[in-house]
Amino acid sequence: MSEDKKTLFIEGKEVEFTDEPNLLEVIRKAGMNVPTFCYRPDLTQFGACRMCVVEVEYPNGRVMVNSSCTMPPEAGIKVKINSQRVRKIRKTVLELLLTNHDRECTTCDKSGQCELQQYSEEYGVRKLKYPTLTKEEMMEIDDKNPSLVRDPNKCILCGACVRACSEFQGHSVLGFANRGSRTVVQPMNGRLLAEVDCVFCGQCQAVCPTGALTIKSDVDKVWDEINNKEKKVVVQIAPSVRVAIGEMFGLKPGENTIGKIYAALRRIGFDLVFDTNFSADLTITEEATEFVDRLTNKGLLPMFTSCCPAWVRYMETQHPDMLGHLSSCKSPEGMMSSVLKDLLPKHNEEYTEDNTVVVSIMPCTAKKYEAKRSQLRRNGKFDTDYVLTTKEFGRMIKEAGIDFENLEPEQADSPFGGYTGAGTIFGASGGVAEAAARTAYYYVTGENIPETDIKGMRGVDKNSRSKTVELDIKGTHVVVRVVSTLKEAEKAIQEIKNGTANFQLLEVMACPGGCINGGGQPFSCNDITIKEQRAEGLYKEDRELPVRLSHENPDIIRFYKEEYEKPGSHKSHEYLHTTYADMRKGSYKDLK
């Protein structure tokens, strides 16, 4: 990349640029803005929405209107970002989009966060010239899966979801179909998302500018349970929620609000508040034990992590022949729910098998799907009753009228509230492998790892989606591959299939950068630094915690002593481990 600084003019102001991929980035770096729908910095430029058009005057006097997201910056050009001409174009674009849009804004899940709504307001669109969408023209809404709702009547065909599905997950469950005015975005032949191999990662929804793809809300059901006097409702909260939810209340990304979260959960009315970080530590002791066992007893390697439900579903639908590589450990969320349903009724007389309701607050839309897995049931009852995403939880806080910013921090309830730094970094890509490596080192050598930070596994930006780290466990060499996005995971799988894989442990998180950038997190796709700030928030908490190794968590040590014997015990296997199923069978790809 060139180091020389070149300059161009934006609204008369001279602005330097170097290797920015497009004019839009130069405009935004200069502290100015143009509206966009289809542009997402983590995805390829598409130039579909035409909202980012600017007027460009070249040194030879030629004037052109062009979309700034697809135009490379050139030295000496004069750019007008808000001339009468481009404002008129944008307003026309908005009017045309609104003409084809279901404008039932007040009841839309995206209301208040919808970019179409925002720009229509900013550009003062008050009247539409053309006949608008009628009830008869409306297409059917797909809400037949636990995670996502697809409403084609709200789609503006920006293609962000199509690109996210293809560029992040390599999967292209969503695609364009038909042509011209009949174009739609849909799964193969208009099928339901539940009928195709959608993994419910929710990244399509995370980049959708409108309400065309939204999270299926369970908020009302959870309120009902909380208000039901017969029920005892307990809650667990995942690592990455603590560094993101503050964004919904004006706090900085990455600011750790866990104390306020505990307090807010009690105000909302949950009976007991636990932290999934505890069961992340539990997962590590189980998973490290399993890994060391596979390593020393010539078990099937490489072992794959199994915390990410989107990844597990990907394996079950795309590579059912390789399910043996997946760790049998449940996800931390699954372990916590299972333990709560098992132990609460045993130790607290107010809790019974019938009245205990477990709610999980997760950064993830696929967790809603995971909770409905038939393997995660006991005596016909699901371990996790409801999963709320960070966004839904934020909405509950607002609905309850809680002044989140000024809450006094509180503590989680014991005994499943204590956690270590290893548990908290689970939320970032590389965190699970790093936490597992710290504990595996101890299990193999009986000593703690000399350098607790394994920096090579960290990093959540676009260039860190695949990392390979070699560990020297006192002479035993272990190679760990850390990937985020299923596209990178697929590359690792192909390496195994063609015999070139050199790693023994594969950590996969389906969302780019890991759970901190999960589909259930607050809207953040226009700023790629947000996920880095969130990850830094987790690593900061890790650095500051007194205990940073899962196997040293006093609550975990006591848990095994009093309840489940030891990692990998019979009881552990009954409650903390799970099985997987070939889901290719009977699917639409099961062709005879």
Partner 1 sequence: MTGSQTKVDFSKIDEIITQCGGKKSNLIAILQKVQEVYRYLPEDAMIYIGTKMEGLSPATVFGVATFYAQFSLDPKGKYEIRCCDGTACHVRGSMPVLNAIRARLDLKDGKFTTDDGLFSLETVSCLGACGLAPVVMINDKVYPQMTSDAIKVVLDTILQEENK
Residues binding partner 1 (CB under 8 A): 166, 171-179, 186-189, 196, 588-589, 591
Shortest distance in whole angstroms from residue 584 CB to partner 1: 10
Half-sphere CA count of 319, side-chain side, radius 13 A: 19
| Neighbouring C-beta atoms of residue 175, cutoff 10 Å | 15
Q: What is the DSSP letter of 566?
A: S
> DSSP letters of 73-84?
P-TT-EEESS-H
In angstroms, the CA 114 to CA 92 distance is 18
Q: Name residue, tokens 């009017």.
A: 95
Q: Identify which of residues 106 and 189 has a Cβ nearer to partner 1 in the complex.
A: 189
Nearest to partner 1 of 189, 498 (CB atom): 189
Choose between 142 and 281: whose C-beta lies nearer to partner 1.
Answer: 142
- Which residue number, 213 or 245, has a Cβ lying nearer to partner 1? 213
Length of the chain: 592
Name the DSSP letter for residue 372: T
* CB closer to partner 1 out of 144 and 589: 589
Token pair for 561: 């002593």
Q: What is the nearest approach in angstroms of partner 1 to the Cβ of residue 586?
A: 14
Instruction: Say if residue 374 is exposed, middle or buried (CB neighbours under 10 Å; 0-12, 13-18, 19+).
Output: exposed
Query: How far apart are CB 170 and partner 1 at their closest, in Å?
Result: 8
> Do the Cβ atoms of 582 and 316 come closer than 8 Å?
yes
List the one residue out of 275, 384, 367, 387 whose CA is nearest residue 312.
Answer: 367
Region of 474 on the Ramachandran plot (φ > 0 left; ψ -120 to 50 alpha; else beta) = left
Which among 290, 291, 282 has a CA at the least distance from the CA of 480? 291
CB of 425 to partner 1, least distance (A): 33
Residue 22 or 147 with smaller CB distance to partner 1 = 147
Q: Least distance from C-beta 167 to partner 1, angstroms?
A: 12
Nearest-approach distance from CB 141 to partner 1, in angstroms: 19
**Taking the complex as a whole, how short is the minimal distance between the CB of residue 588 and partner 1, in angstroms?**
6
CA 247 to chain centre: 15
Q: Smallest distance from the beta carbon of 313 to partner 1, in angstroms?
A: 16
Three-class SS state of 584: coil
HEC assignment per residue over 193-260: HHHCCCCCCCHHHHHCCCCCEEECCCHHHHHHHHHCCCCEEEEEECHHHCCCHHHHHCCCCCCCCHHH
Identity of the residue, 197 or 281, whose beta carbon is nearer to partner 1 in the bound complex: 197
Q: What is the DSSP letter of 145?
A: S
Closer of 172 and 526 to partner 1 (Cβ):
172
CB of 318 to partner 1, least distance (A): 9
Q: Tell me the CB-side half-sphere exposure of residue 571, using CA atoms within 13 A.
A: 12
As measured in angstroms, the least distance from the Cβ of 136 to partner 1 is 16
Of 443, 506, 449, 444, the closest CA to residue 479 belongs to: 506
Name which of 189 and 379 has its Cβ closer to partner 1: 189
Give me the least distance between CB of 226 and partner 1, in Å please. Answer: 40
By beta-carbon proximity to partner 1, the closer residue of 318 and 533 is 318
Are 306 and 280 spatial neighbours (Cβ–Cβ below 8 Å)?
no
Instruction: In angstroms, give the least distance from the CB of 176 to partner 1.
Output: 5
Residue among 460, 463, 483, 465 at smallest CA distance from 530: 460
CB 457 within 8 A of CB 475: no
65/194 with CB nearer partner 1: 194
Residue 473 token pair: 């466990």
Where are the strands (E) in 250-402, listed by range? 272-275, 303-304, 356-362, 377-378, 381-382, 386-389
Nearest to partner 1 of 47, 175 (CB atom): 175
